[in-house]
Structure 1
């Protein structure tokens, strides 16, 4: 708990911020909106305020170049009462250094299994990357993570002060009624059932495991990323829509028959809740994220055989899927985040 009554001045430092499109950005942006609605003053410092270079293999993700001096000025101008470091990139490391030099307490959050991603691209031993991640988060007074399964894994890997912090879903935007909003897209005329995935088209999302399945009906991929062109060539029978946002994304969820989540490395998977809120059941591997969101609820199927999960998920009741998603609130997520913060240098005594 911050121990500070009334509105807070909260600083969030994140290497993942708009215009990036990913789960980290969606989570932090929604939490910021909820806290501002409650009266807090929240400042997000992201790469958009610095000179940047593209991330190798991810041109759309920009990394700040030598940000520490300018970051320190921005921090001093804002005078935060609490500090949260959301990512382990250049801005995250720079803010960590500033806090340590000044004796400021801060919290962090664990959004992404970077050791798995780095290993998939470079074959760097996972143990090296996990050691670096553990070192980064150990300097804070609390590491927020999305699920009990992930919390157990982090604790087993030597992370300390792991704090549970679940996610939410926009139940108005993602709704079964979205199926009746807007115009139809070409993929909706494909043979049924429609098995849909949505998200970044990149190696860590394990889309090949989905696209290679022998399934009835059709496969649709909503999203973009560095693997899209290669996967389109390898799997010409699948339909790739590119990015879909706002109403178009909600319609895609609601008009699909099953949402497939082939990732083995995500720490939560906001798309799981978005699909369920739209009334569409989920098929996934029994890994972190699906194990916590789906578990043994009759809203889809988890199976080491992804094809079996896809076929079993077709039997789920869509109304039950929607009801399950209604248990997840962004307001509760934001309050849990606020409660985890620690009093900082500008906090009244």
Structure 2
């Protein structure tokens, strides 16, 4: 099958959307499918207002459509709600081609946190973007309910996976974490306002708080919390060693749709502490972490969990299963399309 994935999130961005798309693409290609990614790096781009690390591509309908026409896909998936996918959406509707979309990010909450614009205003745009899709792919039951509550009822499940060859209980702890006073409490992800990272840095559990990642809020938080260890971004085997070297993984975000980092930590045997919100409530179990509005208490609970049980549970998340769900949701272009 020839599959076109159109996305506004791609390298050099480092986030869960990019990692998901790259991982699923790798599995599909290994199975013999041909996957074309239409991404922002193929267009002129400008910095996103309030978030300059993210570039907004100046993609026209004609340019995106020409790329899709040249590839001649059997199915089209629009991964994000940005300008590249808007152009692809317009082209698909103009030609009567069906497509699927995905809801990767709590976009209304992110925009509201950064701009003060009411989230419901952004939901109008989300409904407009996803309404013509044959299916909207969502990673958890909570996100499905959120979409349905906002009038999007054509939702299909698309789970996430772990690179189990890299993230597993046999990984040796990172030497930098091994040298720290314990218990070592780890955060991995973007260092940005929407990740609610300061809630983690304010906790009072003994030990050392470690932040792996980079982003626009790093300099401010590093100056404000000098006792925390900011390691910057780490990747691949070194990232796995960071998970393995932590006593607990702390996920303070209230706006993520899933949280890939949680299942990567679990696969390395590290229990997770989080708020009882979308993402953690769909991923964590009583045996693999602690959840509560008191993050200190959640950390204390998670520290008591058995690492072997965490690793066993983490192994249940595979990219092969994720790719299968993605493929099953695709709609071949020869089917009758929805009206524009």
TM over 0.5, shorter chain:
yes
Q: CA deviation at 1:68?
A: 2.1
Which of 276, 285, 300 is the equivalent residue of 1:286?
A: 276
User: For residues 179 and 231 of structure 1, what CA distance do their matches in structure 2 show?
Assistant: 29
Report if aligned partners of 1:57, 1:226 keep a CA contact under 8 Å in 2: no
Post-superposition Cα deviations, 1:200-244, rounded to whole Å, max 9, x if no partner, equal 000010001100111100100000000000101111111100000
Computed over aligned residues only, the root mean square deviation of the Cα atoms, in angstroms, reads 1.3
In structure 1, the residue matched to 2:11 is 18
Q: CA deviation at 1:14?
A: 0.2
Which of 215, 228, 249 is the equivalent residue of 1:225?
A: 215
In structure 2, the residue matched to 1:252 is 242
Moved more, 83-92 or 158-167: 158-167
Q: CA deviation at 1:345?
A: 4.9
- Correspondence list, 1:90-239, <5 A: 90-179=83-172, 184-185=175-176, 187-239=177-229
User: For residues 256 and 308 of structure 1, what CA distance do their matches in structure 2 show?
Assistant: 17
Report if aligned partners of 2:263, 2:314 keep a CA contact under 8 Å in 1: yes
Unaligned runs of 5+ in 2: none
TM-score, with structure 2 as normaliser = 0.96
SS of equivalent residue, structure 1 residue 177: coil
User: For residues 332 and 15 of structure 1, what CA distance do their matches in structure 2 show?
Assistant: 24
Which of 30, 48, 51 is the equivalent residue of 2:23?
A: 30
TM-score, with structure 1 as normaliser = 0.94
Report if aligned partners of 2:103, 2:136 keep a CA contact under 8 Å in 1: yes
> How many residue pairs are counted as aligned between the two chains?
336
User: For residues 239 and 60 of structure 2, what CA distance do their matches in structure 1 show?
Assistant: 35
Which of 253, 257, 275 is the equivalent residue of 1:263?
A: 253
Q: CA deviation at 1:19?
A: 1.4
User: For residues 286 and 61 of structure 2, what CA distance do their matches in structure 1 show?
Assistant: 46
